[in-house]
Amino acid sequence: MKALHARYPFLSAAREAVETAGVDLSELVASDSAAVERGLERVEWAVTEGTVGEPHRRTRVELLSYPVARVLVSLVDEHILLRRYARAEAVTAYDRFSEELTATAEFQSTRTERLDRQDLLAEFDLSGHVHAVAGEDGEYRVDVGTYLEHTAGQWGDEWRLVNRPLADGQVPVDEDELLLLVRQAVRRRVEDGLPLSVPDAIATELDDETERVRDVLADLDLTRDIDTVVPDLFPPCMRHLLDKVQKGEHLEHHSRFAIAAFLTSIGMSTDEIVELFQVNPGFGEEATRYQVDHIRGETSPTEYSAPACATMQSYGDCVNKDDICEDVINESHPLNYYEHRLEEADEEELVDWRDGEEDEEDDDAG
C-alpha cells in the first residue's frame, strides 16, 4: 500500500492494492480500531466541515479508513449524507492534487510518488477528451460531450454552454477549470455504488459508529433554510417564467400563478415579489398584488401551493428541463429542484437577491 493510494483512495490502483493485500472488511472493522476511528472521522468531517480531515500518519490506516467510511455512510443511508460525503472526498482530493500539480519542482521531488496530470485524466477516461492548446500553457479544449457530462447542473452560469465559446465541438477551459472538472469526476467515482449493501455482521460491529453519525446529522440542521432567494438557482421552468415577466411578456394565468406561488413558497413577501417582477414597467402591479395575496390566502380562504412538475408539464410550463430535473428530483417538484441547488451551492453563490436589493437601497440612500 503506497502513500499515493492513501492520499487518493478512490483510484483504481488503490482499490487493487486493498484487494491484493487480501483485506477482509469484517475482520478489519472487528480488529483495526484505528482504521474504524479514522473512517468515522472522515464521515463526521464530511458532514460538519465539508472535507475529510487530516490524513492519519499511517498509510495503511488512512487507506483502509476509506472503505470503512463508505460502509458507514451506507449504513446510515441518508441521501444528504451520501451527497455530503462524496463532495467532501472530492474537495479533499481536489485540494491535494491542485497543490501537487502546481507545486514547485523542489516540493515535487520530496514526494517519492505523485500524481501527474496525465495519470489523473487517464484515471477518469478524460485523456482522449481533453486537448492541451499548443503554445498556450494551462489552456485546454474539452470535447463538448465530456464537458457537459462533468458540469451537468452543478455550477453557476459561467459553466453553461451558452456562455462558452464552443468551437469544433470543443469547449475552452483553463487549468483551474480543468481541475474542477476532475473534482466532479472524483465525486462521481466516490458516489458510484453508494449505498453499499452491508452484511449484518459488519453492520453490528459498527453499531456505535453508525449511531454517532446519526447523532452528528441530527445535531446539524442540514436542510438549508429554503427562505433564500437566489434566482440563478431556480429550476429552469421558474427561471424561464421569471425572465418572461421581467421582459414584460404576456403570461397565461396558469403560468403567472405558477411563478407567483413558487416565489411565495420560498418565503418572498408580496412587496418583494412585486419588486422582483417590476423590471419592466408594464407588468401590472395591482394584478400581481392581488394574485399573490390570493395565493397566500390573504384574500381567499385557501393557501395555494406551487404546482408540482406533473402540473407544470400538463400546462406546458415545464421548459428547459435539465439533468437535475431528470436524475435528481425525478421530475417531482420545482421546490425539490431549488432545495437541491441550495444544498449543493458553494457559500459564495448564495447571495440572497433581497440582500443585493438592500445594498442598492443603502447605496441610493448614501
Residue list, annotated binding site for [4Fe-4S] cluster: 237, 309, 318, 325
Is-contact 242 280, C-beta < 8 A?
no
To ligand SF4, the closest distance from the beta carbon of 237 in angstroms equals 3
Sheet containing 130-132, strands listed edge to edge, beginning at the edge strand earlier in sequence: 130-132, 139-143, 170-174
Which of 121, 325 has the CB closer to ligand SF4?
325
Pure H helices in 236-269:
236-246, 253-265
To ligand SF4, the closest distance from the beta carbon of 235 in angstroms equals 4
To ligand SF4, the closest distance from the beta carbon of 155 in angstroms equals 18
Which of 89, 317 has the CB closer to ligand SF4?
317
Residues at the site binding ligand SF4, with contacts judged by CB under 6 A: 235-237, 309, 312, 318, 321, 325, 331, 334, 337
To ligand SF4, the closest distance from the beta carbon of 243 in angstroms equals 13
Instruction: Return the H-helix or E-strand segment holding 141.
Output: strand 139-143
Is-contact 270 280, C-beta < 8 A?
no
- Measured CA to CA, the distance from residue 144 to residue 149 in angstroms comes to 8
Which of 52, 237 has the CB closer to ligand SF4?
237
To ligand SF4, the closest distance from the beta carbon of 136 in angstroms equals 38
- 165 C-beta neighbours (distance < 10 Å), count: 7
Give the residue numbers of the binding site.
237, 309, 318, 325
Nearest to 29 by CA among 70, 1, 58, 87: 70
Mind giving me the DSSP string for 27-76?
Answer: HHHHH-HHHHHHHHHHHHHHHHTSS--SPPSSHHHHHHHHHHHHHHHHHH
Which of 178, 324 has the CB closer to ligand SF4?
324
Instruction: Return the H-helix or E-strand segment holding 173.
Output: strand 170-174
To ligand SF4, the closest distance from the beta carbon of 254 in angstroms equals 13
Is-contact 129 86, C-beta < 8 A?
no
Which of 299, 314 has the CB closer to ligand SF4?
314
- 328 C-beta neighbours (distance < 10 Å), count: 19
To ligand SF4, the closest distance from the beta carbon of 282 in angstroms equals 26
Which of 40, 233 has the CB closer to ligand SF4?
233
Sequence-separated (6 or more) residues with CB below 8 Å from residue 203 = 75, 210
Nearest to 295 by CA among 331, 337, 336, 263: 263
Mind giving me the DSSP string for 192-220?
Answer: TTPSPP--HHHHHHTHHHHHHHHHHHHHS
